[in-house]
Chains A and B, each alone.
Chain A
């Protein structure tokens, strides 16, 4: 595991995010941001892993993440997303809505959506002073995470195990659709959407269960997989190679999920084909030809291979956050360590 780099940072890490790079330049990511929690003084820090010329400069500990800058943050950092570095700070201080902790934030330039423990959804614009839109009492319980489904639709998960879809254009107080696990109300903690096939959504819950949903049909999850033994804090599809997925959990593990469909086609080709087929014919997945359905929705685990591998050496304290970009993965733990993996096999 020599491609994994661990660094102890003297603060419990609640979030880690890569600074996005443009895909066209084939650049490797080198800057990531972390947020800490439970400290008397919490910080957002930007780190560089220095892949290029500056490796020569820090002799001895090459590749060790170096702090670029730090910024104090009132209260625990619960979520952060980076648009660009300049906008980062200004927004960081706008989260707290009514002193109720804000739990998650998502942005799709220039709009920013935040959700909080007060069950409220607030929409900001990066270039705008005030609040653009607020949905009061959007949820009776805490909203744990939010993600964009399409440009005007967002998905939220809450602490009573529901996945809700909201259409921001409609300005209505109720969600356009509610999905839920049958009956047991296990809180959901994270949600992520398939990068190419927007109807595929993955969520992770308190019992460590990974659910894959097809938001076009049905209101119960398409497949359920036992992943972790404790709360799953984050789930992420690989942004460019969505056959891979990563999850991290309170039990201190970080899993790499890989589906491979039977088709011999390289997965990216297949992914493209899926998209076009489905958009043209809106084919129902049940009974349809297996090979054109995304591996995540094939459901039958015997037919599509789903492999999981542990990514971290034995680790006892919670892995709170992860982010993946290209061949690079970064995660932060309650053990006050940041792990950077440089060669994830995707």
Chain B
């Protein structure tokens, strides 16, 4: 057995005290827990009758996060259709933009959560929202780094620029502080003034730092030269221009030149008289000890890492990052403290260990949304090595399936899951087949939607079962017409037979047909089952009779019996229907037809006689039956006589 990566989390079931025995059943997303009937001898306690539902993923029930799921679903579907045939080079920008789309969705969601967290009055809710915000923040941070390192995979030079953007985006608190400072009456004397300037420098936002410094310089005309020198140092710092013609080596030479100049200024004590400017100068020269004194402003080790790279190794390559990252982490963190999950995830990312990132995220995060989507994106970028799982098909599909089955347990989001299953080539369909049958069908409209999903995927087994469910439900409500059309849609002959039977029964009781609008328009669907064919044809007979097309009606009636379409139990009714036709003044049944009719009657009566007369039948009913037969025989004999005479007469 494999080792577990982390200790399992313990969830307490509130209603189950310690001396009770619990059983459980796995669901796709949830677990059902119930108390088992395990009685130690002597105890007379009656067991608890509740079943508890343990939800692993509470997030899908958050109304705001639902927007995340919906919007990302749209992006996901778009990503799957990015042409396979395109050369991989031209696909990269598309993948980067997909990644940015995902991130902007996270951001939008985060902002809304933040707003709600601020405005809510319930403190418990507010902390809950706050937690969700911090999770999303971490997700976005990781995603952004993955985008820079894996998806965009920028070459040396521009790599650092991307990392700077990454830091700036996630350390936007500087801008807030700067706004406070600038809005105060005398910004240069504000207590946070130097914090802002140094933060700007640490983030490499030198232009903004210079603008801030101008304000200070105006206050101190005496040290004007010193400020001027700093200004020129800041303005001269070279930045790599991606896409330009400048080779990396040339940039490196330029940068070294600038670095030496800063170093010279530091050595000759140009800023010795001003501690703030000296600090900035030390930062510019990349002095690690000085940087470490600014822990407060850096606040995280990865900020420290990027700042250190900026001022010491601006041409760092992605493959070298892990070395700096590791050392920054150890330098920055208190040796006694253990790194948080986020730290190890980011470290794994800097080590370009994609699988470790995904694994750590799966453990640390409480939902599958992030890992499923980023793994899918990375897989599209062809970055995942074939990684042998001991289960399922591959990592991407495994994670997507987990995420989608989580969605499917939701009363409303199940529709999204369908598209995710579609894009899991190996097991998606099986999952969908098993789950779709279990969607509760409250209304016909919902049933139609589920049916459409099944029909589009040629899941005929599921289509049949859904139609059957609907047919049975309508049947229970005595809506025979609806039930029949559902069973026709299900192509379920047995059910159609059953319903036709009900129709005929109704007819026998009431003497009229119900739901004529359906039966009259059956068309070829009539052939689904023998009984349904009979129902349709029998109704046709009534129609012909009503239209006084007696001859056609008679032929149809006879053929219903001779072709054995009509069930034997219904023959008596059919023969009784023939009675008025036999009694017409005009001859309708020909002699031959009458013979056949008589044959039918005999067959019927003989079969009735052979089966022992049921004793429980009241005598009266038997009598009625007998009279009916007598009447029929009489009518047939009369008709035969007239027919023979008529057929034998040559009309003149």
Give Cα A193–Cα B521 distance, bound, in whole angstroms. 25
Chain A residues with CB under 8 A of B521: 160, 162, 180, 183, 185
Interface residues of B in 524-575 (CB under 8 A from A): 524-525
Q: Does B633 contact A (CB under 8 A)?
A: no
| Contact mask for chain B residues 158-174; partner A; CB cutoff 8 A; 1 contact, 0 none | 00000000000000000
Q: Is the CB of B412 within 8 A of A12?
A: yes
Give Cα A162–Cα B485 distance, bound, in whole angstroms. 13
Q: Is the CB of B517 within 8 A of A162?
A: yes
Q: Is the CB of A250 within 8 A of B449?
A: yes
Q: Is the CB of A38 within 8 A of B446?
A: yes
Residue on B nearest A101 in the bound complex, by CB: B443
Q: Does A294 contact B (CB under 8 A)?
A: no
Q: Is the CB of A316 within 8 A of B74?
A: yes
Q: Is the CB of A139 within 8 A of B481?
A: yes
Q: Is the CB of B481 within 8 A of A317?
A: no
8 Å CB contact of B517 from A8, A103, A140, A336: A140
Q: Does A258 contact B (CB under 8 A)?
A: no
| Min distance, Cβ B57 to any Cβ of chain A, angstroms | 16
Chain B residues with CB under 8 A of A140: 479-482, 484-485, 514-518
| Contact mask for chain B residues 70-89; partner A; CB cutoff 8 A; 1 contact, 0 none | 11011001100000000000
Q: Does B609 contact A (CB under 8 A)?
A: no
Q: Does A334 contact B (CB under 8 A)?
A: yes
Q: Is the CB of A185 within 8 A of B525?
A: yes
**In the complex with contacts A316-B74, A335-B74, A141-B514 CB distance below 8 A:** no
Q: Is the CB of B415 within 8 A of A12?
A: yes
Residue on A nearest B415 in the bound complex, by CB: A334
Q: Does A291 contact B (CB under 8 A)?
A: no
Q: Does A100 contact B (CB under 8 A)?
A: yes
Chain A residues with CB under 8 A of B510: none
Interface residues of A in 161-205 (CB under 8 A from B): 162, 164, 178, 180, 183-185, 187
Q: Does A92 contact B (CB under 8 A)?
A: no
Q: Does A234 contact B (CB under 8 A)?
A: no
**In the complex with contacts A137-B514, A160-B521, A184-B523, A142-B73 CB distance below 8 A:** no
Q: Does A112 contact B (CB under 8 A)?
A: no
Give Cα A220–Cα B315 distance, bound, in whole angstroms. 76
Q: Is the CB of A183 within 8 A of B71?
A: no
| Contact mask for chain A residues 125-144; partner B; CB cutoff 8 A; 1 contact, 0 none | 00000000000010111100
| Min distance, Cβ B404 to any Cβ of chain A, angstroms | 15
Q: Does B615 contact A (CB under 8 A)?
A: no
Q: Does B44 contact A (CB under 8 A)?
A: no
Q: Does B438 contact A (CB under 8 A)?
A: no
Q: Is the CB of A118 within 8 A of B411?
A: no
Chain B residues with CB under 8 A of A141: 479, 481-482, 485, 518
Residue on A nearest B411 in the bound complex, by CB: A40
Chain A residues with CB under 8 A of B74: 315-316, 335
A interface, by DSSP: helix, strand, loop or mixed?
loop
Q: Does B452 contact A (CB under 8 A)?
A: yes
Interface residues of A in 1-57 (CB under 8 A from B): 8, 10-12, 14, 37-40
Which of A139, A140, A317: most chain B Cβ within 10 A?
A: A140
Q: Is the CB of B482 within 8 A of A142?
A: yes
Looking at B46-54, B60-68, B95-103, B197-205, the stretch in contact with chain A turns out to be B60-68
Residue on A nearest B440 in the bound complex, by CB: A38
| Min distance, Cβ A291 to any Cβ of chain B, angstroms | 37
Q: Does A319 contact B (CB under 8 A)?
A: no
Q: Does B363 contact A (CB under 8 A)?
A: no
Give Cα A135–Cα B348 distance, bound, in whole angstroms. 70
Q: Is the CB of B77 within 8 A of A316?
A: yes
Residue on B nearest A118 in the bound complex, by CB: B479
Which of A8, A100, A119, A314: most chain B Cβ within 10 A?
A: A8
Chain B residues with CB under 8 A of A118: 477, 479
Give Cα A143–Cα B56 distance, bound, in whole angstroms. 41
Q: Is the CB of A78 within 8 A of B524?
A: no
Q: Does A159 contact B (CB under 8 A)?
A: yes
Chain B residues with CB under 8 A of A184: 523
Q: Is the CB of A318 within 8 A of B70?
A: no
Q: Is the CB of A231 within 8 A of B444?
A: no
Q: Is the CB of B444 within 8 A of A142?
A: yes
Interface residues of B in 264-308 (CB under 8 A from A): none
Chain A residues with CB under 8 A of B77: 316
Q: Does B448 contact A (CB under 8 A)?
A: yes
Chain B residues with CB under 8 A of A206: 448
Chain B residues with CB under 8 A of A78: 443, 445
Q: Does A323 contact B (CB under 8 A)?
A: no
**In the complex with contacts A12-B415, A118-B479, A101-B444 CB distance below 8 A:** yes
Give Cα A187–Cα B448 distance, bound, in whole angstroms. 10
Q: Is the CB of B70 within 8 A of A8?
A: yes
Interface residues of B in 408-426 (CB under 8 A from A): 411-412, 415-416, 419
Q: Is the CB of A337 within 8 A of B70?
A: yes
Give Cα A119–Cα B63 distance, bound, in whole angstroms. 36
8 Å CB contact of B63 from A10, A14, A164: A10
Q: Does B651 contact A (CB under 8 A)?
A: no
| Min distance, Cβ A219 to any Cβ of chain B, angstroms | 12
Q: Is the CB of B482 within 8 A of A117?
A: yes
Residue on B nearest A117 in the bound complex, by CB: B444
Give Cα A79–Cα B303 distance, bound, in whole angstroms. 55
Q: Does B442 contact A (CB under 8 A)?
A: yes
Q: Is the CB of B411 within 8 A of A38?
A: yes
| Min distance, Cβ A252 to any Cβ of chain B, angstroms | 10
Chain A residues with CB under 8 A of B64: 10
**In the complex with contacts A141-B485, A336-B66, A231-B479 CB distance below 8 A:** no
Give Cα A140–Cα B415 distance, bound, in whole angstroms. 30
Q: Is the CB of A231 within 8 A of B412?
A: no
Interface residues of B in 472-494 (CB under 8 A from A): 477, 479-482, 484-485
Q: Is the CB of B70 within 8 A of A335?
A: yes
Interface residues of A in 302-346 (CB under 8 A from B): 314-318, 334-337
**In the complex with contacts A101-B444, A140-B518, A11-B412 CB distance below 8 A:** yes
Residue on B nearest A139 in the bound complex, by CB: B517
Which of B416, B446, B456, B517: most chain A Cβ within 10 A?
A: B517
Interface residues of A in 241-257 (CB under 8 A from B): 250
Chain B residues with CB under 8 A of A316: 73-74, 77, 419
Q: Is the CB of B444 within 8 A of A103?
A: yes
Q: Is the CB of B448 within 8 A of A231?
A: yes
Give Cα A117–Cα B448 distance, bound, in whole angstroms. 13
Q: Is the CB of A119 within 8 A of B477?
A: no
Chain B residues with CB under 8 A of A137: 514-515
Q: Is the CB of A336 within 8 A of B67?
A: yes
| Min distance, Cβ B282 to any Cβ of chain A, angstroms | 41
| Min distance, Cβ B582 to any Cβ of chain A, angstroms | 32
Q: Does A75 contact B (CB under 8 A)?
A: yes
Chain A residues with CB under 8 A of B481: 119, 139-141, 160
Q: Does A97 contact B (CB under 8 A)?
A: no
Chain A residues with CB under 8 A of B63: 10
Q: Is the CB of A76 within 8 A of B67?
A: no
Residue on B nearest A318 in the bound complex, by CB: B449
Q: Is the CB of B73 within 8 A of A335?
A: yes
Chain B residues with CB under 8 A of A160: 481, 485, 517-518, 521
| Contact mask for chain B residues 447-482; partner A; CB cutoff 8 A; 1 contact, 0 none | 011001000100000000000000000000101111
Interface residues of B in 387-428 (CB under 8 A from A): 411-412, 415-416, 419
Give Cα A335–Cα B516 distance, bound, in whole angstroms. 40
Chain A residues with CB under 8 A of B452: 230-231, 250
Give Cα A12–Cα B64 distance, bound, in whole angstroms. 14
Known: A140-B517, A141-B481, A185-B521. 16 other contacts (CB 8 A): A39-B411, A40-B411, A75-B443, A78-B443, A100-B477, A101-B444, A119-B479, A137-B515, A139-B517, A140-B518, A141-B485, A183-B521, A206-B448, A316-B74, A334-B415, A336-B66
Return 13 A-B CB contacts under 8 Å, by A number. Answer: A40-B411, A101-B444, A103-B444, A117-B479, A139-B517, A140-B484, A140-B518, A141-B479, A160-B517, A185-B523, A230-B456, A335-B74, A336-B67
The 5 closest A-B pairs by CB, nearest first: A140-B481, A140-B515, A8-B67, A10-B63, A183-B523
